[in-house]
Structure 1
Amino acid sequence: MSTETTLFMFPSGRVMKYAITASSADGPTVILSNLLCAPLQSWDHVVPVLASKGFRVLRYDLPGHGGSSVAQDLSSTTFDSLADDVRHLLRHVGNPETPCLDRRQHGCRDGHRVHARHPSVISRLVACDTISFSRVNAETADVFGRRVAAARKTGNMDAIVKGTLERWFGRGWMGENPSETARMRQAMRETSIDGFETCCAALRNTSLHLRPLLEHAGRGVESALLLVGEKDANLPESMKGLRQGIEDGIRKSSNPDASVDLKVIKGAGHVCYINGFGQFQETVTDFLKE
């Protein structure tokens, strides 16, 4: 099993850091997309599991996260532009079709958007702890704008990292798992303020609205799995509607017999592949191997 980490340069000069881990060069590719504030190493425990099953695992850093740079205009990042970034990367690494694990905490990358904009790129979709629309569209408070302003005022991401960790895992879990908490804290510190702001711009944009895209997002998808942490606020309930929308879209667009499962990861919060790792990896590998 080997891991290759390198940079991909877009025509604009912006770079994206990515890593490929594989035990075999010809296995199907699984894309792992990241959370806001976390670089690609947040998936370090999941990668060897998937690679040992014969998958070629592709991870990448979001703009301003880890080794990826940001666009000159921080407000220009949207979910469409993030989806296009993924398509360019896939062409670069030579994979026209691939399964996809879509991890979207606040939504810094969206597999639905990728295969809605680029049909048949993704054959199997796993969406984890997924919101359906931005707070602007939901007409609720703009927490991201306040957090960006706070980071700018202090000149660092320390308070953002601390607060985000507590929201993701809870203080109890963090106290019981100090080494994993420290690992994630260190990884999250690789997010720049510019990176935080530009990805928050995507989250604050009115274009973040999945429901109208679900019909198109079904094109080329064989099956989908939705995962949500049991303790992830109201998402276990709200993702039921998303599950039905994805199922309807897949049935109408590509597979009339498709079914979309929604699985609750027991005891997990917003990052179910970390504090629900055992059930997560078992559920996902079973789904991808079907």
Structure 2
Amino acid sequence: MSEPVIVDRGGFRLAARVCGASEGAPWIVLSNSLGASTLMWEPQMEWLGRRYRILAYDTRGHGASEAPPGPYSFADLTGDVLALMDHFRIDRAALMGLSLGGMTALGLAIHHPRRFERVVCCDARADGPEPFVRSWDERLAAIAAGGLDAIVDGTLERWFVARYHKANPEQIARFRAMFLATSPVGFAGCAEALKRLDYLKDLPRIRIPVLYVVGEKDQGAPPEAMRAMAAATPGAHLVQIPDAAHLPNVDNSFAFHAAVAPFLGLS
């Protein structure tokens, strides 16, 4: 993956990477999960780069991006994407996001449709019911007491199916290190945005093509919730990835690529 380009956001800096097809190719923007970074998209880089010029960025407080004081809102997170697109002179792009990145993608599809040709929303929610909010309060309390170490094991269990854990210990170690490198300030700031998630009522307004993707064993963004999101979004479809959990692009990348390829014009 290319070295990051550091972009000033006024008070903090974001790290972004540009790679893939040569200039003149269509763009795709990649938005990462909470507690991850652009490295989570490594299985997709060569594949996407066959057609697309890729802008992958570390969400504020993640990877090499700095963490301004929180809490954050989805207006902040979507604003970061638009600022990066403006910096790289990208008028319009495809967009793929997972979990927090998928929710960010929904906000952009709802409020800034002119800037996006199509959206792949993976393993995300569109609202924050009380049990969901309570789960984040509990995780934030655990982080306040013991840092990100207090929740890393539970997070990795939710991210990947048992088969992937057993077969890929080195990759699990990399994702553990990625998670623990996240700024606690950035993590908490993004978690506060999740607690205020309220896009479900706006999904019928979306007028650009949307593909929803979910791992069949995802607990954080369960398939039944994403099925309801697809039903509420005009023209949208849901694809379920077998034998995959919260990061199906990693623990079943072959099936993930097969599901997403027709929508993105890839083979």
Please report the TM-score for the alignment, with normalisation by the length of structure 1: 0.85
**What is the match of residue 242 of structure 1?**
229
How many residues get paired?
264
Query: Match of 2:109, SS?
Result: helix
Given candidates 249, 259, 265, the residue that maps to 1:283 is 259
**What is the match of residue 20 of structure 1?**
18
Q: In the TM superposition, what whole-angstrom CA distance separates every residue of 1:24-47 from its partner, at most 9, and x where no partner exists? A: 111111111111100111111111
Asked whether the 8 Å contact 1:107–1:203 carries over to 2, the reply is: no
Q: Structure 2 regions of 5+ residues with no counterpart?
A: none
How far did 1:4 drift?
A: 4.6
Opposite residue 127 of structure 1, the aligned amino acid is C
Given candidates 143, 156, 164, the residue that maps to 1:165 is 156
CA distance in 1, matches of 2:76, 2:35: 18
**What is the match of residue 225 of structure 1?**
211
Q: Structure 1 regions of 5+ residues with no counterpart?
A: 248-258
**What is the match of residue 35 of structure 1?**
33
Opposite residue 58 of structure 2, the aligned amino acid is D
Asked whether the 8 Å contact 2:95–2:120 carries over to 1, the reply is: yes
Query: Match of 2:22, SS?
Result: coil
How far did 1:160 drift?
A: 1.9
Asked whether the 8 Å contact 1:126–1:227 carries over to 2, the reply is: yes
Given candidates 63, 67, 71, the residue that maps to 2:68 is 71
Q: How does 1:65-214 map to 2 (within 5 A)?
A: 65-72=62-69, 74-75=70-71, 77-104=72-99, 109-134=103-128, 138-140=129-131, 142-154=134-146, 156-205=147-196, 208-214=197-203
Asked whether the 8 Å contact 2:102–2:120 carries over to 1, the reply is: no
Asked whether the 8 Å contact 1:36–1:108 carries over to 2, the reply is: no
Query: Match of 2:124, SS?
Result: coil
Asked whether the 8 Å contact 1:24–1:54 carries over to 2, the reply is: no
Asked whether the 8 Å contact 1:3–1:22 carries over to 2, the reply is: no
- Are 2:249 and 1:260 equivalent residues in the alignment? no
CA distance in 2, matches of 1:165, 1:180: 11
Opposite residue 86 of structure 1, the aligned amino acid is V
Q: In the TM superposition, what whole-angstrom CA distance separates every residue of 1:69-106 from its partner, at most 9, and x where no partner exists? A: 1223x12x1112111111111111111110111212x5
Query: Match of 2:127, SS?
Result: coil
Please report the TM-score for the alignment, with normalisation by the length of structure 2: 0.92
CA distance in 2, matches of 1:45, 1:113: 25
Asked whether the 8 Å contact 1:20–1:56 carries over to 2, the reply is: yes
How far did 1:112 drift?
A: 1.4
CA distance in 2, matches of 1:49, 1:273: 12
CA distance in 1, matches of 2:103, 2:5: 20
Rate the CA distance shift 1:58–1:107 in 2: closer, same or farther, 3 A. closer
How far did 1:274 drift?
A: 0.6
**What is the match of residue 49 of structure 1?**
47
Q: In the TM superposition, what whole-angstrom CA distance separates every residue of 1:212-244 from its partner, at most 9, and x where no partner exists? A: 2223332xx2x2211111111372222122112
